[in-house]
Amino acid sequence: MSRIEKGVSFIGQSVPRPQTARLLAGRGVFTDDVKLPRMLHVAFVRSPHARARIVSIDAARARAVSGVVAVVTGQEMTPFCSGWIGTLAHFQGMKSAMQRPLAVGKASWQGEPVAAVVAESRAVAEDGVSHVRVTWEPLPVVTDPETALDPSTPVIHPELGDNLAFRLELASGDAERAFRDADLVISETFTMGRHTGVTLEARAILADFDPSERRLTVYHSFQAPNMMQDILARHLNLPEHDVRVICKDVGGSFGIKVHIYPDEMATCALSVMLGRPVKFTADRLESFVSDIHAREHRVKAELALTRDGTMLAMRVDDLTGIGPYSVYPRTSAVEGNQTVRLMPGVYRFRDYAASLRVVFQNKTPMCQYRAVGHPIAFAVMEAMVDRAARELGLDPVAFRRKNYVTAEMYPHTSQTGYFFERLSHEAALDKLLEISDYRTLCAERDALRPRGVYRGLGLCAFIELTTPGPAFYGVGGARISSQDGCTIKLEPTGKLTCMTGVTEQGQGTDTMIAQVVASTVGVRMEDVRVLTGDTMVSPYGGGTWASRGAGIGGEAALQTGKAMRGSILRVAAAMLQCEPDDLDIRLGKIVDALTGEVRLELAELGRVAYFRPDTLPKDFQSELTVTRHYVPRHQGFAFTNGIQLSHVEVDVETGFVRLLKHWCVEDCGRIINPRLVDEQIRGAIVQGIGAALYEHLVYDGAGQLLTGTMMDYLVPMAAEMPDIVVGHVETPTAYAEGGFKGAGEAGTAGAPGAVLNAVNDALAPLGARVTDQPITPEVVLRALGKL
């Protein structure tokens, strides 16, 4: 810690990201940019039906297309790639069916891959796909989660007995009694529509199996290369150390590129089968039906209060549909689980009861997408809070203050068992009110209403689960690392090469790691080069997801940097015949610790250590490559908190919501790079705004996706997005030396709730209220009784 606070530190500085230079020059290397000798391309035959029996597949005409090399069905692939079941042991009673890279016997969602066509180009592979004749027997479908468990509803996988994937009942205190004693009970039902990540670079994978060595090298647009390495090894029956996964530039991830996809597994199996490199790059239309979807929750919530505005208790019933399979290996139960566990955590009331049902349906599989569960939890919680304040005639700010878990209550354990070391709800709220000039905005809103201008202000307080330890996946049996390593090597030139287990998809992971390493070792930023995303090179680690990069990767880098500094100083002391403690490293030079006088250049130290060790004492061995690891051991997660404010104007004639401005104050502990954190927050907020207002995967009753193009699925664009002001409170965690926590998902966690509350604030004088997201013009006009 002293290294961070004392002397020259890059921690806390908005250092620009060095790797942007090549991305700005068109010299990035994304997976589809990689080209190998004898490379083939695969395209998939996908089910046009939401549920159907595959009667037969006739590939003869496809095989006859010039340039088609192979057509492979699910049955033909089965001996080469074993199936998987997406359950975790710590989700008690959870079940799911065996899933395979290509469907065998039946298809269970529109878009499920059922056959692969491999050809000399992607265009020819697609020609081949159009010539594969599948005879289907369509079956009755399950789409509506509300009726998925009815006895009259068909069971998607008969071997499971019913369509229930997971059920959870949570109870803390005595909610029933609190509801009986309450002065006021409010209840409401919320829906949040299905949406997805729409990474601008679609999923892509290039598998290169060398049959002579039986080694598989995979270039993958992915977040967790070691997880993929493990899974490929086990399901393709290869020794793990013969599988190498390389993640080059990744064009957006957001949790989409951290799951096992059948088409990607099939691509790797095809490379093994054919002994040639095979590339799969999803096109946008197949992305919409094959990338994981998220949300689709229906939440019934009830809140019990006293007349003076004290929250007493809450009851919640969450129902979510996850498609026909729980996604491997993280499972599709996590979002519902987090929704009901996170929901009450901002507030101090103790009586809480929640019921969760996670059901199968014939839609694209659903799994973890940025801010997993949080946007649902806090949209529901904060909408209930605003409504309670309104019904009691209380100010929404004062109402929150009255019910917050307050500063003196930490450390604090939530109603659902989450441990909060120290959160800063009150300080964050104070800062938000200040930077937004909230009271002035309220006055302006009130002044405009008589003129028929309906503006609204919506607050959304939230907590964010970051920096997860092994309790997240490891204890459930998933081989997903919660620890990460960092290796630093001193080059003979005195520069540092650093390899880390966390990965880069644009967040600035490598810059953040370089800042920590430069600061702890004592060199300049330009002296550190960071390498990520290669399982043969990087220390074993989990990659980047669940806002773990800074909290885990950053701390591992810090510990490695300290060790490296010690190693360098031992060499320097041997060269200068003094004690290591007499010396320090500052901006890449060995200096006298007391006077700061330069004693030695690092390049000279490198020269002697590598090329003239004969000049050092005979019993001295320099160690100028060091590795350290870090895993959070003292708490399950490093929770963070924050609050957002949305300012909107609703056109009550058209139902359109115009975003005027958005603010967020969040607390991710010690900030390594303020600009990068702010940009994570802003980007995440816009994804949350997309969920709140625009993005919707709409299905019809037959399980057909109706919004499967970018013309129908609305991604936020520059013109309608507001300016976003970001502020911070810094409460470092004391459980890790760096004090770093995560920041990647906070924006998405709170934005939908803030927008929902702002729209309802605008509609309040008209007696209208919306509870469905996305809040389309149709939703607003229905609420106003105009449709």
Residues of this chain that interact with other proteins (CB under 8 A) are 16-17, 20-21, 23-30, 32-33, 35, 121, 123, 197-202, 249-254, 281, 283-285, 505-508, 675-676, 679, 682-687, 709-711, 715-721, 723-724, 747
Q: Which is nearer to other proteins, 257 or 341 (CB)?
A: 257
d(CA 610, CA 501): 27
Q: Which is nearer to other proteins, 17 or 194 (CB)?
A: 17
Contacts of 117 (CB under 8 A, 6+ apart): 42, 43, 44, 45, 62, 68, 70, 71, 125, 126, 128, 129, 132
Q: Which is nearer to other proteins, 123 or 409 (CB)?
A: 123
Q: Which is nearer to other proteins, 15 or 480 (CB)?
A: 15
Contacts of 205 (CB under 8 A, 6+ apart): 31, 218, 219, 220, 221, 222, 264, 267, 268, 279, 280
One-character DSSP codes across 159-224? GGSSSEEEEEEEEES-HHHHHHH-SEEEEEEEEEEEEE---SSPPEEEEEEETTTTEEEEEE--S-
Q: Which is nearer to other proteins, 199 or 226 (CB)?
A: 199
d(CA 493, CA 743): 35
Measured N-to-C along each axis, helices 509-521 and 555-576 cross at an angle, to the nearest 10 degrees, of: 30
Residue with tokens 């197949």: 286
Q: Report, in Å, the least distance between residue 26 CB and other proteins.
A: 2
What are the backbone dihedrals phi and psi of residue 381, each rounded to the nearest 5 degrees, phi first? -60, -50
Q: Report, in Å, the least distance between residue 51 CB and other proteins.
A: 28
Taking a C-beta distance cutoff of 8 angstroms, is the pair 741, 548 a contact? no
Q: Which is nearer to other proteins, 123 or 536 (CB)?
A: 123
Q: Report, in Å, the least distance between residue 735 CB and other proteins.
A: 29
Q: Which is nearer to other proteins, 688 or 703 (CB)?
A: 688
Q: Which is nearer to other proteins, 738 or 744 (CB)?
A: 744
Q: Which is nearer to other proteins, 565 or 662 (CB)?
A: 662
Q: Report, in Å, the least distance between residue 15 CB and other proteins.
A: 10
**Tokens in use for 345?**
């955590």
- Strand pairing report for 133-138 and 52-58: antiparallel
* Strand ranges in 20-76 using DSSP code E only, listed in sequence order: 40-46, 52-58, 68-73
**Tokens in use for 354?**
């929640």
Q: Report, in Å, the least distance between residue 546 CB and other proteins.
A: 18
Q: Which is nearer to other proteins, 250 or 743 (CB)?
A: 250
Q: Report, in Å, the least distance between residue 613 CB and other proteins.
A: 41
Q: Which is nearer to other proteins, 199 or 559 (CB)?
A: 199
Q: Which is nearer to other proteins, 419 or 656 (CB)?
A: 656
Q: Report, in Å, the least distance between residue 766 CB and other proteins.
A: 28
Beta-bridge mates of residue 585: 590
SS3 per-residue string spanning 689-742:
HHHHHHCCCCECCCCCECCCCCCCCCCCCHHHCCEEEEEECCCCCCCCCCCECC
- Coil, helix or strand at residue 245: strand
Measured over the CA atoms of residue 218, residue 220, residue 226 and residue 232, the dihedral's sign is: negative
d(CA 754, CA 692): 9
Contacts of 782 (CB under 8 A, 6+ apart): none
Q: Report, in Å, the least distance between residue 303 CB and other proteins.
A: 32
Taking a C-beta distance cutoff of 8 angstroms, is the pair 250, 257 a contact? yes
- Coil, helix or strand at residue 310: coil
Q: Report, in Å, the least distance between residue 501 CB and other proteins.
A: 20
Contacts of 176 (CB under 8 A, 6+ apart): 353
- Report CA Rg, the chain: 28
